[in-house]
Structure 1
Amino acid sequence: MTDSSYATEPIDLRRVDEIPDEVLGWRHQAVPRAFHGLTAREFADAQPELERLQTPVLTLDAGRLQANGERFAAWCSRHGVDWAPHGKTTMAPQLWAQQLADGAWGITLANAHQLRVARQHGVRRVMIANVLTDPAAIGEAAQDVLDGAEIVSWVDSERAVARLEAVLAEAPEAVLDIVVELGAPGGRTGARTNAEAVAIARAVAAAPQLRLVGVGGYEGALAHTSDAAALEVVRDYLERIGTLHAQLDAERLYAAAEVMITAGGSAFFDDVVDVLAAHVREAEGSRPAVRVVLRSGAYIIHDDGFCRGISPLGRTDPDGPGALRSAMHCWARVISQPEPGLAILDAGKRDVPVDEGLPVPQLIGPRLGGPMQELHDAAITAVNDQHCFLAVDPELDIDPGDVVRLGLSHPCTALDKWQLLPVLDDADSPQDARVVSTVRTYF
C-alpha cells in the first residue's frame, strides 16, 4: 500500500518511478541476453538501437504517446467534459501517470486485480466500471476507501445492491460510492429499462453504506460501426441515460455534492458529449454539480485498424493534423518463404492481436533497425499461434531474416501479450530509432 503522505496525489509518482528498477532477464520477450542483468532503467539509459532487439517485438512510439494524450485532453477540455481512461487497455501505471498528468479525473478499471495494481501504485481515484459481486473484491474496495482512496463502483440490480450491503456490513465504517448502470436489450450489463434503474437507485439511496453518485453505461456494446443506423442506436441509448439522470436528480436521490454521468468508450465519445454534455452544471443550492466523465481507454495507444477507422479523432481523416496516430507496432522477421507469394513471419497470436482485424504489413527491410521501404500489395491472410502468413507479390524478392513492420488493431489485446514494451523515439525512422524508455504492464 502507498504511504499516507501520497494520499492526496492522483498517483504515487515515487512508486511509478521505481518500475524501471526491475532487473531484465529471461522473462522479458525481445530483450536479448546481452542486456540481462541490467535494470530496465539502465537498458533505456543506454538508448540501444532498434536493431539490438529480438523479433518479434512490440514497440511503442514516444512522440505519438505524448501527442495522443495531449490531443485527447485538449478535446475534452474544449467540450467541457472529464475523462477517466479505462486502465485495462494498457495496465501500465507509467501510462496512467501520463494520463493523470494530462488532467484525467481518475482511472477506470474492471476488477479486483486491476484495482490492486492501481492501489499498489497509489492511484487515488478509481472507477470500477463493473458490478462487484465477489466478497473479497468488495472487501478490498471497502478497505481502499478506509485507506483514503476514492472508489466508485457500479450496480445494475437490486440484488447486487443487497449483496454489497451484506458484505459491507463487515466493514461498518466504509461507504462505497455507486453509479447505477443502464443497459439495453442485447447489450452487456446494465438495467434493461429506466424503470428498473430508478428502482435500483432508490435501493442504493436507502442503503446506509452506499452513496448514489451517478448514472452510466457503455454504448460501445450496442454498435460496432459508425454508419447512420449504428449511431442512431447509440444516441437513443445515450438519451435514455440522460433521462435517467434527470429523474434521479428530480427525486433528490443523489447523495454527493458532485455527481457524474459516465459513458464513452473509444468509438463514440463525440456522441456522448453531443447528447449528454447539456446536463453538465455547477452546484446550485442543494442541487449537486454534474460532470460528464468519458472512459475512453484506447486513445493514448490508438491503432492502425479498428480505432483508426472509428475514433472521432480521425474517423473522417485518419492522417489529418488533429487525428490520433497509432503508437504501437510489431516488428517481425521472415523465417520462411515456402512458395512464391508467401512469406511466414515469426509473430503470431501470442504476440499480436487478431480479434479486431489482422495485422497490416507496412514496411519491409533487410534487417531490424535498417532502412525499410513501404510494402505494397501485401496482406496478412492468417495468423497461427506463432506465425503470420504474409501474402505478397510473387515477384517480390524476400529473404529469410527480412523484417516487416506490422500495423495492429486493438490495443487492449496487443499490450496484454507483453510484460515489457520498449519505447522508441521514432518508429517511422527505423534506421535511426533508439529505445528511450520502457513501459511495464501488469495484466
Structure 2
Amino acid sequence: MTDLFGAYDKGLWLPDAPVSEEELVSAQHGLFEGPFTFPVMVARRSALEANIATMADYARRHGVLFAPHGKTSMSPTLFAAQLDAGAWGITVATANQALAARRFGVPRVFLANELYDARVLRWMAEQVGSGWELVFYVDAPEGVAVAAEALAGTAGGRLDVVVELGRPGGRTGCRTVARAVEVARSAAESGLTVRGVAGYEGGLPDAASVAAWLRDLAAAGDAVAEAVPVDGTPVVSAGGSAWFDVVTDVLGPWTDRAEVILRSGAYVSHDDGFYRGATPFVRRPSEGGLAGALEVWAHVQSVPEPGLAVLGAGRRDVPFDLGLPTPLEIRACDGARRPADGMTVVRVDDQHAYADTNGVAVRPGESVRLGVSHPCTAFDKWRVIPVVDEDYRVVDVLRTYF
C-alpha cells in the first residue's frame, strides 16, 4: 500500500508532484484553502471517535462480543481504531475483503457469507492453520463439500464454520432449525470445525418479527451444540445496525453459555439519513447516541431558475440507495456559513444533485455541506477521505480498499 497521493485521487488537487500521507496530514491544511477540490467527502474526527467508543461501551455493557462489519468502510485506519476500542474481530462479506483484512493485520475475521471458491478456501485453511482466526458461513451440503475438499488439499490446515439460519423469503441461510442441524452434522463429519450458528435479521419489518427470528436462531444454536461437537464456547451471531437492541434483549440470556457476537457496521460513521432514524439509540436514548461523521461538500454549480439549485455532486459521489443527501449548511464565497434549513435534494444524476431551495437564498459558487444516507455506499465512492477537526483542519486521512 503506497502512502503517496496524486492526480488520480478524487477530492484532492495535486496536479504537480505527489505528496506523502505524512506531508498532507502534517501540514494541517484547511479544507477550503488546502490542496482539495470539490466535490470532496470528509469525515469528522470527533464523530468517528465518539461513535466507536459508544458501540464499544454498548457491547461491554451488555456482555456481548463485537465484530463490526468492515464492508462499511474497508479502511485499515478505522479497523485498527475499532479493534483498539475492544472489538473481538472484524466482519467481512467477501473473499477479497477477508484478504484485505488479513493484509491489514486483522487477527480475527468473521466472514458472514457462504464461500464456494476452492482456491480461496485452501488459502484460508492454510492461514488458519498458521494462526489466523477466521470463521465463515455454510448453509448447504454443497458448500460443506467444497470446503472439505479444499481442506483436504492442505497440510495442517483448518476451516471453522458457523451454520447460517435464514428465513422464508429472505436471503441465504437454512430455512429451518432441523435443516441447520443437518448441515452442521455434514460439516462435522466432513472434517470442518463447527463453531455455532449465525444469521442476519435485516429486512424484517419490526421488533416483534426480529425477536421471533432471534429465538429461532438461539434454538438453532442449542440444537447444533447438542447434535455435533462444537469447538470451544458455541457462537451465536447476529445484529446489523438497525436492531442490535433486540439482539441483545433476546440473546442476552445466552451469554452464559455462548459467545454472542454483534456485527453492526454502519455505526462507525452513522449518517444523516436512513440510520439517523433507524438506529436503536433513537428508541433507547439512555443507551447512547451516534453522530453522522461523513459530509460531502459540493459547489453550487448553477441557480438556473427560481427554487432550483444544481449542486456539483451526484451518484458517483453520494449514496442514493437508502435516501438522498441532506443539505445541512451553506458556505458563502467569503467563508460565512449559514443553515440550509428547508433546502431538499430531490434527485441526483451522475455528477449533479438537484435541490429544491424552498426559499433558501443560494448563489452560484457557494458550497453546500451535504449529510449522507447509508454510509456503506458512501465510503466505496472515495479512495481518499480527509479527516477534519471542528475547524475543518485536516488531521488525518482515511484510505479505502474496495
Q: TM-score range by the shorter chain?
A: over 0.9
Tell me which of 373, 379, 386 is aligned to 1:415.
379
Write the distance in 1 (CA, Å) between the matches of 2:11 and 2:373: 21
Quick check: 355-364 or 29-38, which moved more? 29-38
2:138 is aligned with 1:174:
no
SS in structure 1 at match of 2:282: coil
Partner of 1:15: none
Quick check: 159-168 or 297-306, which moved more? 159-168
**Residues 278-317 of structure 1 deviation map (CA, whole Å, 9 limit, x = unaligned):** 1112xxxxxxx52100000111110011111111123465
2:359 is aligned with 1:376:
no
Partner of 1:120: 103
Contact 1:314 1:324 in 2 (8 A): no
Q: Which structure 2 residues correspond to residues 356-435 of structure 1 after superposition, within 5 A?
A: 356-367=322-333, 370-394=335-359, 396-426=360-390, 432-435=391-394
Contact 1:302 1:308 in 2 (8 A): yes
Q: What is the CA distance between 1:82 and its match in structure 2?
A: 0.6
Partner of 1:339: 305
Write the distance in 1 (CA, Å) between the matches of 2:321 and 2:76: 25
2:68 is aligned with 1:85:
yes
Quick check: 296-305 or 140-149, which moved more? 140-149
SS in structure 2 at match of 1:219: coil
Partner of 1:139: 122
Partner of 1:244: 220
Unaligned runs of 5+ residues in structure 2 are none
Write the distance in 2 (CA, Å) between the matches of 1:424 and 1:326: 13
Tell me which of 23, 33, 39 is aligned to 1:42.
23
Write the distance in 2 (CA, Å) between the matches of 1:142 and 1:201: 18
Write the distance in 2 (CA, Å) between the matches of 1:101 and 1:367: 41
Partner of 1:7: none
Contact 1:353 1:409 in 2 (8 A): yes
SS in structure 2 at match of 1:380: strand
Q: Which structure 2 residues correspond to residues 47-196 of structure 1 after superposition, within 5 A?
A: 47-51=28-32, 52=34, 53-196=36-179
Residue type at the aligned position of 1:406:
L
Write the distance in 2 (CA, Å) between the matches of 1:371 and 1:313: 33
Partner of 2:211: 235
Write the distance in 1 (CA, Å) between the matches of 2:282 and 2:65: 20
Write the distance in 1 (CA, Å) between the matches of 2:3 and 2:151: 37
Write the distance in 1 (CA, Å) between the matches of 2:53 and 2:243: 19
Write the distance in 1 (CA, Å) between the matches of 2:255 and 2:17: 52
2:236 is aligned with 1:261:
yes
Contact 2:221 2:234 in 1 (8 A): no
Cα 1:188–1:104 change in 2 (3 A) is: same
Write the distance in 1 (CA, Å) between the matches of 2:268 and 2:358: 35
RMSD between superposed Cα atoms in Å? 1.6
Tell me which of 299, 317, 321 is aligned to 1:355.
321
Residue type at the aligned position of 1:374:
P
2:388 is aligned with 1:440:
no
Cα 1:100–1:220 change in 2 (3 A) is: same
Contact 1:420 1:440 in 2 (8 A): yes
How many residue pairs match? The answer is: 400
SS in structure 2 at match of 1:280: helix
Contact 2:51 2:290 in 1 (8 A): yes
SS in structure 1 at match of 2:49: helix
Quick check: 134-143 or 261-270, which moved more? 134-143
Contact 2:387 2:397 in 1 (8 A): yes
Write the distance in 2 (CA, Å) between the matches of 1:411 and 1:297: 9
Cα 1:96–1:409 change in 2 (3 A) is: same
**Residues 160-201 of structure 1 deviation map (CA, whole Å, 9 limit, x = unaligned):** 111211222211421111100000011100001111111111
Write the distance in 2 (CA, Å) between the matches of 1:64 and 1:194: 41
Q: Structure 2 length normalisation: TM-score?
A: 0.96
Contact 1:24 1:36 in 2 (8 A): no
Write the distance in 2 (CA, Å) between the matches of 1:143 and 1:385: 43
SS in structure 2 at match of 1:406: strand
Q: What is the CA distance between 1:34 and its match in structure 2?
A: 6.4
Q: Structure 1 length normalisation: TM-score?
A: 0.87
Contact 2:126 2:155 in 1 (8 A): no
Partner of 1:227: none
Write the distance in 2 (CA, Å) between the matches of 1:42 and 1:109: 32
